Amino acid sequence: MINGLIGRKLKMTTSFDSEKGIAVPVTIVRVGPCKVTQVKTAGKDGYESAQVGFEETKRLNKPLVGHQKRSESNFKYLKEFAVNDIDSIEVGQSLDCGIFEVGDHVSVTGISKGKGFAGTVKRHNFSGGPKTHGQSDRHRAPGSIGAGSSPGRVWKGTKMSGHMGSKRITQKGLRVIKVDIKKNILEIKGSIPGSVSTTLMIEKE
């Protein structure tokens, strides 16, 4: 069976755990339905995996239309996942959130919220300068960014102001709280990268 699927983040809410008597924060994710668009085998490709498509669209370029011709589909999103039993997967096969079970631990990958251009205090948790003793306009300044004559340049990777967020983030070890196969809904404990309606990759660990 395939190890993961593509989904979309819907919202966050709380789910009541009647056994422990506590409210658990959960993220609701619509997973699939996905369709297998390509199967890769060890003999032909050197490894085993399955490519699945998510959310059909009318607007696709010709290479993608040709690639998906065999599965008779026009999917906007294509992702590749590892497969345990390659013989159980075939092109055109439909997959839903039934591959997940309550208690499963999953890794969720998505694009984090964009924060725009941010300073060092917000972006890298710098302390900023002193607020008193005659300081002016140095409260949130980054400070020194390097030495003078040696090396006489700024090192690569120096923490400075810049674009914050909009990065690919993977959150690991998240537990599946509830599976609703009829609605293709997963309830996953905790927060997940990205804003509402972000496309996600959910993989079993």
Domain residue ranges of the chain, discontinuous segments joined by +? 4-113+170-204, 115-143+157-164
pLDDT at 84 over 90: no
CA 157, distance to chain mean position in Å, is 24
Region 176-204: what's the mean pLDDT? Answer: 94
- Find out whether 120 and 129 touch, Cβ atoms under 8 Å: no
Question: What is the CATH class of 4-113+170-204?
Answer: mainly beta
pLDDT of 148: 87
The most distant pair of C-alpha atoms in the chain lies apart, rounded to whole Å, by 73
The whole-number average pLDDT for the span 176-201 is: 94
Structure tokens at 198: 């972000």
Cα separation, 130 vs 124, in Å, equals 18
Confidence at 18, pLDDT banded by 50, 70, 90: confident
Confidence of residue 187 (pLDDT cuts 50, 70, 90): very high
Q: How confident is the model at residue 92 (pLDDT cuts 50, 70, 90)?
A: confident
The stretch 75-91 carries a mean pLDDT of 89
pLDDT digits (tens, 9 = 90+) for 128-162: 999 999 999 999 999 999 988 888 999 999 999 99
20's torsion region: left (phi>0), alpha (psi -120 to 50) or beta? alpha
Angle of CA points 77, 86, 181, to nearest 5°: 55
Cα–Cα distance measured from residue 182 to residue 103, given in angstroms and rounded to the nearest whole number: 19
Helix ranges (H only) for the chain are 42-45, 62-67, 120-124
